[in-house]
Structure 1
Amino acid sequence: SIRGGCVVVTGASRGLGVGIARAFATEGAATVCLVARSEAGLQSVCRGLAAEHPNVCFHPIAADVTDPGGRARIVRSVESIGQRLLLVNNAGIESWGPFEHATEASVEEQVAVNLLAPMLLTRALLPLMLSAGGGSVIHVASLAGKLGSPNSAAYTASKHGLVGFSRALRSEYASRGVSSCVVCPSFVDTALLDSLVAKAGGERPPWISTTTCDAVSSACVRAALGDEPEALV
């Protein structure tokens, strides 16, 4: 159940993260914690969401999910709330281009943000879920995590890893009340996609298909409510 619980959304200062936070607030979450590096962006988003949902507590947490200190800050904030927990690992980055042109730093950053950070944040919050008798983790991966796509080898590998992590986590913790679901959308039509297209030359490649923030946000809610192992959008 989402009602009365605490939902933590990473990558929540813009785009899809805002949509996911709004969707869970609409579904009845008591507290929605929005996590991102930009404190000013988070404050603005929280004010806007609070105006739409005055009965929900929106709690900004300025933290870098790739940083151990940032993850510890998230755990301390959530622990003080003391409600049943649902984590949405939404933060992610992507870079396009031929793999032979990718820098080591770019490959490492995509794996760190898209795979290692969700794994380590989940690990850090699992004790709170287990002590509360259960909880849920929603991982926002990608259709690239199910198929290979050109010019995004590092991103595709990181999202394949996230799909595998969610499956393993679900198998390991289902009997202890912790659910794990993975949502795999096509490209979400946001400013981030526009930026990637601009860097690629200003035209969308013909193989790109898109979906909307609302569709993906709704899929996250449905996956949580229905305890779905996987949702393709």
Structure 2
Amino acid sequence: MKDLSGRTALLTGASGGIGAKIAEALADAGANVVLSGRREDALADAAARVTERGAKAAVVPADLSDFDAIDPLVEAAEAALGPVDILVNNAGIELTAPFAEFTRDELTSLIDVNVTSPMLLIKRVLPGMVERGTGSIVNIASAAGHFPPAYAAHYAASKAALVALTKSLRAEYDDSPITFSVVSPGFVAGDGMYQRIVDSGVKSPKMMGTTSTEKVAAAVVRAIRNDSVEIVITGSPARPLVALGALAPKTHERLVDRLGMHSAFGQAARIRGRLR
């Protein structure tokens, strides 16, 4: 079991509700945390909760849609709290609309933030981890990577890409001390992008169940400690469907539809004026 005490963690997407809870969980496990995101006031609040737990905190605002921000982010993180031992790629965006109606910029910008920036961050911190002989990387994906909903095709594709990226890197670095894990939350109640969808008037599919920001944060720490491949955090009806998707894809497809995944994202697209 890996010890997080005294380790430096770089957490992106730290200004959101899930990110703030991950920061707290890392601090509770003994890690010092560099918090990055776009909302400086929220980052400051999250940093205060880290220091209340006896850990060190540093705030480094960054917009990960700008690839030129990657190197300065890591450099500032290391200058503040030392070499990055843990990277948690939590930043991400979602958009809902019929696929043919997405603009080119919408398609590319989502992939930039959800896939390319995590890749660039991993590429930036990995050599140092290998040289020091220690390091953990956790990608926050989404259950949408396993249950691809209609009207969010490129979002689901970006999350499936993070799952595949994590597993490929595990294979490539199998003989090294560096660990790679992915945490895939389902509908997160209380805060985060799914809660914002519900707050806009969308009825969350009851059969898919919900999870919480606290459970997602705990899964991140558990993944680091136990070198987990993937932890799927959803309501209990959904988890067996992950296996079913590989064994019986057509049955899986029908069940996902019946559970209401497609209708939920369709409602979101309609409320946002992207679906008539």
SS, match of residue 203 in structure 1:
coil
**How much identity, in percent, do the aligned residues show?**
35
TM-score with structure 2 setting the length: 0.77
2:179 aligns with 179
Greater shift after overlay, 206-215 or 119-128?
206-215
1:222 aligns with 222
Instruction: Give the letter aligned to residue 104 of structure 1.
Output: R
Deviations 1:138-190 (A, max 9, x none): 00001111232222101000011111100111111231211100111102121
* Cα separation, partners in 2 of 1:6 and 1:134, compared to 1, 3 Å: same
Counterparts of 2:151 and 2:204, CA distance in 1: 11
* Cα separation, partners in 2 of 1:158 and 1:88, compared to 1, 3 Å: same
Counterparts of 1:102 and 1:188, CA distance in 2: 25
* Cα separation, partners in 2 of 1:48 and 1:3, compared to 1, 3 Å: closer
Counterparts of 2:69 and 2:103, CA distance in 1: 26
1:140 aligns with 140
Deviations 1:88-134 (A, max 9, x none): 00011111222122222222121111111111111111112112112
1:20 deviates by 0.4
Counterparts of 2:194 and 2:78, CA distance in 1: 35
SS, match of residue 179 in structure 1:
strand
1:195 deviates by 2.9
Instruction: Give the letter aligned to residue 145 of structure 2.
Output: G
Counterparts of 1:230 and 1:162, CA distance in 2: 11
2:58 aligns with 59
Matched ranges for 1:1-233 at <5 A: 1-29=3-31, 31-51=32-52, 53=53, 55-80=54-79, 81-83=81-83, 85-189=85-189, 190-197=191-198, 202-206=201-205, 209-233=209-233
Please say which structure displays the higher CA radius of gyration: 2
The answer as to whether partners of 1:186 and 1:210 remain within 8 angstroms in 2 is yes
Greater shift after overlay, 130-139 or 96-105?
96-105
The answer as to whether partners of 2:188 and 2:195 remain within 8 angstroms in 1 is no
SS, match of residue 175 in structure 1:
coil
Counterparts of 2:196 and 2:211, CA distance in 1: 16
Counterparts of 1:145 and 1:191, CA distance in 2: 17
TM-score with structure 1 setting the length: 0.91
Greater shift after overlay, 154-163 or 60-69?
60-69
User: Over aligned residues, Cα RMSD in angstroms?
Assistant: 1.7
Aligned residues: 228
1:37 deviates by 1.7
1:24 deviates by 0.8
Residue ranges of structure 1 left out of the alignment (5+ in a row): none
SS, match of residue 73 in structure 2:
helix
Greater shift after overlay, 215-224 or 63-72?
63-72
Instruction: Give the letter aligned to residue 100 of structure 1.
Output: A
The structure where strand makes up a greater share of residues is 1
Greater shift after overlay, 61-70 or 109-118?
61-70
Instruction: Give the letter aligned to residue 212 of structure 2.
Output: T
